[in-house]
Structure 1
């Protein structure tokens, strides 16, 4: 540094001058050559020492101000470089240069920190970090959304909402993952990692929504089972129908036997029809996608069911924000989905005189289609079973309605789930992929 060399030269000059003047004064006094002149030289050397100390104190004071500013993280301090003291100007220039470099480094570090922060905010998986005192240091939007909370400052907030997490957070093994069902019924996979940062232990929690993967595996398993069952049942029933028809046509058969064979044939045909409905579920055709107005399609369904709504004292509401939304999909299959959901809501409103069904279309980061009714709701113990094929709470149901709806939505790249259900409020939600809807 130029200033350092200059400072060394100034100090060295002062020291040499002091030594020379003081040495000359001492020599004159010792040799009795000129006592007065020797004393004068000593006095002059004292003035030089005082000047050196004063200059060093000025240097130290300015450096102390600079260090105090750095300790207080104050980067706006600026030293005057235009004074009459050249040495102080050189020091001020050096300190200003150091301050500028530190400010640049801090700015670059802040930019990099903002980049990583933005990067973590954009990832679909949740990220949560806390220290040994369980104070949350970082949480991204995905984590808040998946866990269904507005903010997390201390982990106890999370432990109060999800008591099952307490043991995993405290004693969780970094090599194991943990499955958690969120309040919105999403299946979450949690994995943990610990690291040292400035001698402090930091714990990182990664949160991933695996609902789609689990649903796909479950649907795949049910489809395989359905194919096997329908194949075996239909192969068994077909000969029974054929034999009952053949036997009933034989001459001389007793009337009771003929009626019995008719009952066998009728029940077998019903079983065949029932099995055929499941076969259609397992061999669902690929959607024939085209562009159509989802808003108009739902409006038309409302008109189709208008007389049914009026007879059942049901008020139907359709809200769309924006007012007209187009999507790419199979209109026939999707109309089947919405018609099935509307009829389910109507059945849950039986006996009510103030029934209401509200369908809301809302665009945020995705297209959300929400169907809300104020019916009797679905019992808590049944909510996890309603999408399972063969499961039904209706005496005449087949148990393929909601399962078929979910499969159709999945084939369109969307997600379909029950958000909440209790007495007086049931809400089903369809999340439509962002690439498949068009605003108009």
Structure 2
């Protein structure tokens, strides 16, 4: 009895409740003195009613439990669209159906909330400007965000199932969370803030790594500080230069009409001319730095940069050797990109000297374009200050060319690096997203 099904136990209980009454009625029917045919007919009729009632009761109970089982099974496999029909009024069976329907509604709402949260998280991970990597228990990469793809130069499909050692990040497992380390992440060597944590996915332990580029952050803050400084200095100095130029011009005119001795007059006018010329030159010098503080946001569009580079090199007429693929289409502001190349090629030509060839080559990766400019000059003595505004090693330099180039490239979500070559000369590396 204990091992029989629930439906059979209910059926047996009802059977034991009805059968005594049935047998009592049959006994009384046959006990009284009446016709045999009537007794037999009534007995058959009662037996048929009892048998039909038992049959209907058993299969009705069974169908109800099958319906409930189907509802619960649908919930178990994630199909929350099925609903049970509950009878009006209060009963245990109707309440059970209503609760199952409410459970299905709650699970449907939870599924939509979960999907919306996943979509929001995916958007945040896609747009956030930090590198994110997750690994399984074996140390194999399971997920990366677009920023990581950009840094490593590989798509997520190619990074999946690779280990951290395969991408030269094997030392991460030995580092502690919230540490600052100098690492080579793909093609970028910088100081990184590393956050490590663990999480479980489908019952398995995973590792989470988040990398923040501190050098890039400091560079952006430094550029903003220089912009503010140049903006304030330009404003204050221009306010002083304007009246100096005006007064020098006025005094020069007054001196020309005065009765001063000719030799003294020439000396005074010569001095005023020097004051006016130097003030005007200083004003033009400061105007060059205004470019750093008023550089507009790039108007990026899909462009094949190969003909742009070829046309620019032919116009500049520098001795440049081009090693370019047939086509490279990226999103750039053509005017700003040309201005950047003009400054870099001019620097390379001045550093190399006359009749010394400059190499310009492009390499294309999965989601990156790498542009190199190589010269044969003496190299750079102070690499730490090359992007600092006002710093220059040239006698006629202004110290804004490389700062402007860096600002243009970073405005395109790219990177600009300078390094001295082992064989001599300087290497400029521009990394742009494809």
Give the TM-score normalised by the residue count of structure 1: 0.54
In structure 2, C-alpha distance between the alignment counterparts of 1:319 and 1:243, rounded to whole Å: 56
In structure 1, C-alpha distance between the alignment counterparts of 2:328 and 2:206, rounded to whole Å: 46
Question: Which residue of 280, 285, 295 maps to 1:284?
Answer: 295
1:151 is displaced (CA, Å) by 7.5
1:228 is displaced (CA, Å) by 0.7
The Cα RMSD (Å) is: 4.1
1:260 paired with 2:271, answer yes
Q: Output aligned runs, 1:169-184, within 5 Å.
A: 169=174, 172=176, 174=177, 176-180=178-182, 182=184, 184=188
1:215 is displaced (CA, Å) by 3.0
Query: Are the aligned partners of 2:183 and 2:189 in contact in 1 as well (CA < 8 Å)?
Result: yes
Which residue does 2:400 correspond to in 1? Answer: 400
In structure 1, C-alpha distance between the alignment counterparts of 2:316 and 2:268, rounded to whole Å: 45
Which residue does 1:298 correspond to in 2? Answer: 309
Which residue does 2:388 correspond to in 1? Answer: 388
Which residue does 2:248 correspond to in 1? Answer: 244
3-state DSSP of counterpart to 2:426? strand
Q: Output aligned runs, 1:58-137, within 5 Å.
A: 125=131, 127=133, 137=139
In structure 1, C-alpha distance between the alignment counterparts of 2:208 and 2:308, rounded to whole Å: 46
1:222 paired with 2:218, answer no
Structure 1: where are the runs of 5+ without partners?
1-118, 160-164, 310-315, 435-440
1:239 is displaced (CA, Å) by 1.1
Structure 2: where are the runs of 5+ without partners?
1-121, 154-161
In structure 2, C-alpha distance between the alignment counterparts of 1:202 and 1:303, rounded to whole Å: 54
1:363 is displaced (CA, Å) by 4.2
1:408 is displaced (CA, Å) by 2.0
In structure 2, C-alpha distance between the alignment counterparts of 1:409 and 1:276, rounded to whole Å: 22
In structure 1, C-alpha distance between the alignment counterparts of 2:323 and 2:284, rounded to whole Å: 38
Question: Residue 374 and residue 227 in structure 1: after superposition, are their counterparts in 2 closer, same or farther (change >3 A)?
Answer: same
Which residue does 1:90 correspond to in 2? Answer: none
In structure 2, C-alpha distance between the alignment counterparts of 1:151 and 1:288, rounded to whole Å: 39
In structure 2, C-alpha distance between the alignment counterparts of 1:216 and 1:397, rounded to whole Å: 23
3-state DSSP of counterpart to 1:304? helix
* Paired residues, number: 287
Question: Residue 293 and residue 139 in structure 1: after superposition, are their counterparts in 2 closer, same or farther (change >3 A)?
Answer: closer
1:395 is displaced (CA, Å) by 1.2
Which residue does 2:353 correspond to in 1? Answer: 350
1:179 is displaced (CA, Å) by 4.7
1:270 paired with 2:281, answer yes
Question: Residue 270 and residue 338 in structure 1: after superposition, are their counterparts in 2 closer, same or farther (change >3 A)?
Answer: same
In structure 2, C-alpha distance between the alignment counterparts of 1:288 and 1:139, rounded to whole Å: 36
3-state DSSP of counterpart to 1:284? coil
Give the TM-score normalised by the residue count of structure 2: 0.55
In structure 2, C-alpha distance between the alignment counterparts of 1:232 and 1:421, rounded to whole Å: 38
Question: Residue 192 and residue 244 in structure 1: after superposition, are their counterparts in 2 closer, same or farther (change >3 A)?
Answer: same
Which residue does 2:113 correspond to in 1? Answer: none
Question: Residue 357 and residue 191 in structure 1: after superposition, are their counterparts in 2 closer, same or farther (change >3 A)?
Answer: same
Query: Are the aligned partners of 1:319 and 1:361 in contact in 2 as well (CA < 8 Å)?
Result: no
Question: Residue 293 and residue 204 in structure 1: after superposition, are their counterparts in 2 closer, same or farther (change >3 A)?
Answer: closer
Which residue does 2:211 correspond to in 1? Answer: 207
3-state DSSP of counterpart to 1:397? coil
1:332 paired with 2:335, answer yes
Query: Are the aligned partners of 1:416 and 1:428 in contact in 2 as well (CA < 8 Å)?
Result: no
Query: Are the aligned partners of 2:306 and 2:324 in contact in 1 as well (CA < 8 Å)?
Result: yes
1:361 is displaced (CA, Å) by 4.8
More deviation in 368-377 or 336-345?
368-377
In structure 1, C-alpha distance between the alignment counterparts of 2:392 and 2:217, rounded to whole Å: 24
Query: Are the aligned partners of 1:360 and 1:370 in contact in 2 as well (CA < 8 Å)?
Result: yes
Query: Are the aligned partners of 1:355 and 1:374 in contact in 2 as well (CA < 8 Å)?
Result: yes
1:144 is displaced (CA, Å) by 11
1:153 is displaced (CA, Å) by 5.5
In structure 2, C-alpha distance between the alignment counterparts of 1:291 and 1:205, rounded to whole Å: 33
Query: Are the aligned partners of 1:293 and 1:327 in contact in 2 as well (CA < 8 Å)?
Result: yes
3-state DSSP of counterpart to 1:394? coil
Question: Residue 418 and residue 364 in structure 1: after superposition, are their counterparts in 2 closer, same or farther (change >3 A)?
Answer: same
Query: Are the aligned partners of 2:135 and 2:142 in contact in 1 as well (CA < 8 Å)?
Result: no
